[in-house]
């Protein structure tokens, strides 16, 4: 029988959350034996993760810097009859650079193209029969669909375009909803990498997770044509469908994990409930783990569980807003909710994205004439702990965007 590999920390899944944990442990705790196992041949899949500069602390922004492909001094949103530029800086990490930096840092401690068959608190067994013994095991293999969650969906398809002419976009356009609204809240998301290269994504906050790729590609090409852009090549494509929680039971999510095994990222419901942004919480978890004095599995699993439960409690108000968006607003009128939000104070907007809304912020978000029918809004106030899994969540991607 082949001897078992041994490590202090076993990270199962090489997406954003576990990747950042491995990256931070290499920086802060180089004495630890860290092993990362990923079933795909590269780390991070095909994704772009973005965040506002105000989403993270200055020290966190600094240690993320080697992974960042591009930074911008602000960003913009557009709605019918309304445009606004915001001052908060914006960053983006692309999965190819993420893989390159992390694979270099981990070297032989990254096992790529290997699939886990069995996960335990003291290690794992792979499909090829290899055994790994570990003091601590963290499962970061993406969203776990199940009856613990009732959700809408944010689905997207993105193309990285190289143009024949300059596109003229100087900062990210996070939301361009000045487009026909069909099937839900529909908008385009733009990241300008350089003068002629940019990522264009069509996004829908919809009731199902199915992506009509032919229609979405045609929509992106039509959008580019309408802006006077001539496409030279399409160099990369990414897609995903992310759960937007309406109600659920996070205890049931954790009960499905093997005893003593920790979880990270989407696996642990550690993401912004309304935007789907996962990087800020992944950064906070990586910092928390790197500060631990010891890495005994049950204690680490308990800490991750506590972080997951605390975030779920804090985001109760966000789930209320999600229910207003998905259950009170008609699909073609969902954009009105977001248009109203982006007319508010910029500090409130920044705190909302960073997950630090105050009581006064929450009051401000709810006062005034509601952008949805009052009767429907009132029916959304009560949150059931769990519900039947929406078709949206069943098609969710394992890693969130942005």
319-339 confidence digits (pLDDT tens): 999 998 998 888 888 999 899
- Per-residue pLDDT, averaged over 359-386, amounts to 68
Radius of gyration, alpha carbons of the chain = 21
Asked if residue 42 belongs to a domain, the reply is yes
Asked if residue 195 belongs to a domain, the reply is no
> To the nearest 10°, the Cα dihedral for 314, 318, 320, 322?
-150
Question: What's residue 329's pLDDT?
Answer: 83
Question: Does 327 lie in the same domain as 304?
Answer: no
Q: What is the pLDDT of residues 144-190, one digit of tens each?
A: 888 899 999 999 999 999 999 999 999 999 999 999 998 889 999 99
Question: Does 344 lie in the same domain as 259?
Answer: no
Q: What is the distance between the alpha carbons of residues 222 and 220, in angstroms, rounded to a whole number?
A: 5
Asked if residue 182 belongs to a domain, the reply is no
Question: Does 323 lie in the same domain as 283?
Answer: no
Question: Does 367 lie in the same domain as 274?
Answer: no
Question: Does 125 lie in the same domain as 18?
Answer: yes
Question: Does 363 lie in the same domain as 261?
Answer: no
Question: Does 361 lie in the same domain as 276?
Answer: no
Domain that holds residue 366: 319-384
Asked if residue 152 belongs to a domain, the reply is no
Mean pLDDT score of the chain, rounded to an integer?
90
Question: Does 31 lie in the same domain as 126?
Answer: yes
Asked if residue 200 belongs to a domain, the reply is no
Question: What's residue 376's pLDDT?
Answer: 59
In this prediction, residue 375 has a pLDDT band, given cuts at 50, 70 and 90, of: low
Q: What is the distance between the alpha carbons of residues 172 and 106, in angstroms, rounded to a whole number?
A: 32
Total domains in the fold of the chain:
2
Question: Does 292 lie in the same domain as 344?
Answer: no
DSSP 208-270: S----HHHHHHHHHHHHHHTT--EEEEEEEEEEEEEEEEEE-HHHHHHTSPTT-EE-GGGGT-
Q: What is the pLDDT of residues 187-235, one digit of tens each?
A: 999 999 999 999 999 999 999 889 999 999 999 999 999 999 999 999 9
Q: What is the distance between the alpha carbons of residues 301 and 262, in angstroms, rounded to a whole number?
A: 4
Question: Does 259 lie in the same domain as 377?
Answer: no
Q: What is the distance between the alpha carbons of residues 155 and 210, in angstroms, rounded to a whole number?
A: 8
Read off the CATH number of the domain in which 259 is found: 3.50.50.60
Question: What's residue 75's pLDDT?
Answer: 97
Question: Does 104 lie in the same domain as 13?
Answer: yes
End-to-end CA distance of the chain: 44
Asked if residue 184 belongs to a domain, the reply is no
Name the nearest CA neighbour of 277 among 266, 262, 285, 288: 266
- Per-residue pLDDT, averaged over 18-27, amounts to 97
Q: Rounded to two decimals, what is the model's pTM?
A: 0.91
State the chain's maximal CA–CA distance in angstroms: 70
Asked if residue 140 belongs to a domain, the reply is yes
Is the pLDDT confidence value at 399 over 80?
A: no
Question: Does 310 lie in the same domain as 255?
Answer: yes
Asked if residue 325 belongs to a domain, the reply is yes
């Amino acid at each position: 029988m082949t001897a078992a590999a041994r490590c202090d920390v076993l990270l199962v899944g090489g997406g954003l959350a576990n990747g950042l944990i491995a990256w931070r442990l290499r920086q802060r705790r180089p004495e630890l034996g860290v092993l990362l196992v990923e079933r795909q041949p590269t780390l991070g899949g095909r994704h772009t993760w973005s965040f506002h500069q105000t989403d993270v602390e200055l020290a966190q922004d600094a240690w993320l810097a080697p992974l960042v492909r591009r930074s911008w001094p602000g960003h913009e949103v557009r709605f019918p009859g309304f445009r606004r530029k915001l001052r908060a800086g914006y960053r983006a990490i692309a999965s190819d650079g993420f893989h390159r930096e992390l694979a270099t840092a981990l070297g032989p401690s990254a096992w790529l193209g290997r699939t886990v068959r069995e996960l335990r608190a003291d290690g794992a067994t792979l499909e090829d029969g290899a055994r790994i013994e570990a003091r601590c095991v963290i499962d970061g293999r993406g969203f776990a669909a199940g009856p613990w969650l009732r959700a809408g969906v944010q689905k997207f398809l993105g193309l990285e375009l190289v143009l024949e002419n300059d596109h003229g976009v100087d900062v990210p356009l996070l939301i361009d909803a000045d487009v026909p609204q069909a099937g839900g809240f529909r908008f385009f998301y733009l990241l300008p990498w350089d003068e002629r290269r940019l990522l264009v994504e069509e996004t829908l906050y919809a009731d199902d997770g199915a992506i009509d790729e032919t229609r979405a590609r045609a929509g992106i090409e039509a959008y580019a044509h309408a802006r006077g852009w001539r496409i030279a090549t399409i160099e990369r494509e990414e897609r995903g469908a992310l759960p937007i929680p309406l109600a659920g039971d996070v205890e049931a999510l954790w009960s499905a994990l093997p005893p003593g095994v920790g979880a990270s990222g989407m696996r642990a419901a550690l993401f912004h409930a309304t935007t789907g942004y996962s990087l800020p919480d992944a950064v906070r978890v990586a910092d928390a783990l790197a500060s631990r004095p010891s890495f005994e599995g049950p204690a680490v699993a308990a800490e991750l569980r506590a972080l997951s439960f605390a975030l779920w409690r804090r985001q109760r108000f966000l789930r209320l807003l999600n229910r207003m968006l998905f259950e009170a607003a008609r699909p073609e009128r969902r954009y009105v909710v977001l248009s109203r939000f982006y007319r508010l104070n910029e500090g409130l907007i920044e705190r909302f994205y960073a997950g630090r809304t105050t009581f006064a912020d929450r009051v401000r978000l709810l006062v005034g004439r509601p952008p949805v029918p009052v009767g429907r809004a009132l029916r959304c106030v009560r949150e059931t702990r769990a519900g039947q899994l929406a078709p949206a969540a069943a098609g969710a991607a394992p890693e969130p965007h942005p």
